[in-house]
Amino acid sequence: MQSTIAAPAGAVPDDATVAFEELYHSSRDDLYAYVRSLVHNDAVAEDVTATAFERAYRRRTSFKPRRGSLRAWLFGIARNAALDELRRGKRTTALETEPADEAAAPDADADAVSRRGVVREALAGLSTRERELIALKFFAGLSTAEIASVIGTSESAAAMRVHRTIEKLRRSCDEA
């Protein structure tokens, strides 16, 4: 269900609010998927996702197009919120990581199940930074330029890191 994000009562939604509404609807699920890959916990991921959208909404008028795309800006906010949550979680107690859903679809064939297991094992062998790149690329669907903006590096460096990570994954899968 697509809903319209409210502007102050009686006011015509400004450009920033309209732009944010479009961003919300186009990024909601991608953002959750990315955050979930960082925090490894559904409840925390929901909280961080809500926080990220709330912060982005409150700062929607401060976005500067020359700094990058709106989507990269939103994911940058989400990244910081997730990392802050990780820091807080370490100071109190270890976050309980929810185990991945191992149950296969009823009609999945053995090969698909096997491939899925291989990929998961390969993902588990990546560092957190490498997994983040995978999440930004494949879960969030960000471009290389957007990934660079989110992680705070140059586009060429981001491209190189993504490429190396994918190659590392492929090698791990092939060796499994």
Between CA 17 and CA 40 the distance in angstroms is: 31
> In the bound complex, what is the minimum distance in angstroms from residue 69's beta carbon to another protein?
20
* Among residues 22, 84, 109, 121, the one that binds another protein under rule CB under 8 A: 84
In angstroms, what is the minimal distance from the CB of 176 to another protein? 9
**With contact defined as beta carbons under 8 Å apart, do 172 and 122 qualify?**
yes
Orientation angle between helical segments 70-92 and 42-58, nearest 10 degrees: 130
How big is the site for another protein, counted in residues (CB under 8 A)?
59
Q: Show the DSSP H helices in the chain as ranges.
A: 15-39, 42-58, 70-92, 110-124, 128-134, 144-151, 155-175
Q: Lay out the site mask for another protein across 113-152 (x = CB under 8 A, - = otherwise).
A: --xx-xxx--x----xx--x-x---xx-------------
Contact 55, 81 (CB under 8 A): yes
The packing angle between helices 15-39 and 70-92, to 10°, is 40
Backbone angles phi, psi at 69, to 5 degrees: -85, 160
Task: Give the nearer residue to another protein in terms of CB position, either 57 or 68.
Answer: 57
Q: In this chain, which stretch among 51-59, 66-74, 142-150, 154-162 interacts with another protein, using CB under 8 A?
A: 51-59
**Does 63 engage in binding with another protein (CB under 8 A)?**
no
Sites of contact with another protein (CB under 8 A) = 1, 3-8, 24, 28-29, 32-33, 36-37, 41-47, 49-51, 53-55, 57-59, 62, 80, 83-84, 86-87, 89-90, 92-93, 95-96, 115-116, 118-120, 123, 128-129, 132, 134, 138-139, 166, 169-170, 173-174
